[in-house]
Structure 1
């Protein structure tokens, strides 16, 4: 049995005159201990996916259809009281900005001890000892002293380590990390990601890493979903997608990486921008930005098909692959 199974999940937002679709029938699975990356530009639907999995969508957003099965139970239909027992306990989320996650008027110790005591029958002394152990696991120096400090007294990297420690407090089976290093200095981003990978591997915790950085995905995950305008357009083993991307959008993301451009040359970029939820194009949503677009791309939305070793939603994937083969022969 999969740890997590998502089937035909659609999320909509109610507007004054109509509704807009933020997630359009996405489906994927996550095995126990597996690491999955979700990549795409801002507006692709990555963070909405994370919030939907935690059942944290607030109005005007709502799950319109589909199933989210976690440990054999449907989260979508689950009563809120039962869902609160799962959040933080069996499923945890690491948000982009630790200062939004941490309560500024409570000490680190108060926040960790309260979290433990809300889900476990522990004394305050026992909860404090567990908190110290978890802080040590994330390499926080002098953890006993940190318990008495407030979030603003710590550096950004230290705060994010504490957020990871809180996520691991109750030994969850799944962690959803939404751009966990966005608010950090680049010099410590790699340390945080290495720490998260080490902890997930040693504790056999499933990880969903939401990011726009394909470089991070290639180092951290085993499988990857590429999202565009609320849809999964390519999915498969991370190594396969990085080494041989099939969808033109995925190819564009990889070509835009700085290491793909020679020194002194302009960085490559995908023309245009992600469409607004209120103006998603008919047919393939990527068609206005795609250099390989054909007439039928403007009319019919592509179905997801198995091609090579990945699943891809593109009308032209077969022709593009043949053209690439001809170039290699030439």
Structure 2
């Protein structure tokens, strides 16, 4: 049995002109100790999916359909009090911006101890001892000193390590990392991702990594979920998706990576923009940007098709695969 099962999840936002659907029929699972990635452009629904798992969708948003099963409990049906016992305790989240996540007027120790007190009854000395252990675990230099410092006294990389330490305080089973390296420079990004990977393996943590960076996903995760306009368009083993993307949108994301461009030439890009939630086209939402789109694509929502080890929501997957095989054969000859 999976540790987490998201089934047919739907999220709506009530606006003045009516409700818009931010997530449509999103389904995926997560096993104990497994690392999965959720990728897509800004506005694809990645963060909404992550926030839905912890029931952090605030008004005017709401979970309007589906199930989020964690150890057999539907998280979308729990009361606020029941959810508080799960957030930070069994499922923790690392948010995007370390500069904004920490409280600037509290020391690191006060913030970590407060988190422990919210879920357990123990003395301040015991809580501080656990906080110190977690700072050591995330390889903070001089952890005793850092405990009594304020966030403004720390670098961006140290702040993110402290946020990871806070996420680990109560030994959760799942970590959700929402763009955890967004505000950091490139070398620090690599350090933070290496640290997350080491911690998942040493602590047997399951990880949901939300990112737009396919390079990071390829190094860290075992399975990948590709989202577009609030819907999953492809999912499967990360290696298979990176090496042989099936959906035209996934192919576009991979072709847009800097290393795919000719040295000195222009970067590849997907033409057009993702549609707004108020104006998602009928049929396949990617059809206005897809060079392969047919009338069927523009009129009919594609169901999932098994292609290799992946599930792909594309009407043309058989034709595209056949065309690719012909191209490969021609190149071989």
Same-fold call, TM > 0.5?
yes
- Counterparts of 1:1-330 in structure 2, within 5 Å, are 1-330=1-330
Deviation at 1:236, TM superposition (A): 0.3
Q: Secondary structure at the match of 2:272?
A: coil
Q: Secondary structure at the match of 1:9?
A: strand
Residues 4-61 of structure 1, C-alpha deviation per residue, up to 9 Å, x if partnerless?
0010100000011210000001111000110010000000000000100010000001
Regions of 4+ moved over 2 Å: none
Deviation at 1:121, TM superposition (A): 2.0
Mapped partners of 1:111, 1:173: distance in 2: 21
Across the aligned residues of Structure 1 and Structure 2, the Cα RMSD in angstroms comes to 0.7
Q: Secondary structure at the match of 1:76?
A: helix
Mapped partners of 2:216, 2:102: distance in 1: 25
Mapped partners of 2:307, 2:146: distance in 1: 51
Deviation at 1:328, TM superposition (A): 1.2
Mapped partners of 1:121, 1:299: distance in 2: 57
Deviation at 1:161, TM superposition (A): 0.3
TM-score by length of 2: 0.98
Mapped partners of 2:236, 2:219: distance in 1: 15
Mapped partners of 1:125, 1:138: distance in 2: 20
TM-score by length of 1: 0.99
Mapped partners of 1:26, 1:220: distance in 2: 22
Deviation at 1:119, TM superposition (A): 1.2
Mapped partners of 1:324, 1:82: distance in 2: 51
Mapped partners of 2:218, 2:187: distance in 1: 19
Mapped partners of 1:199, 1:246: distance in 2: 32
Mapped partners of 1:320, 1:328: distance in 2: 12
Mapped partners of 1:117, 1:123: distance in 2: 9
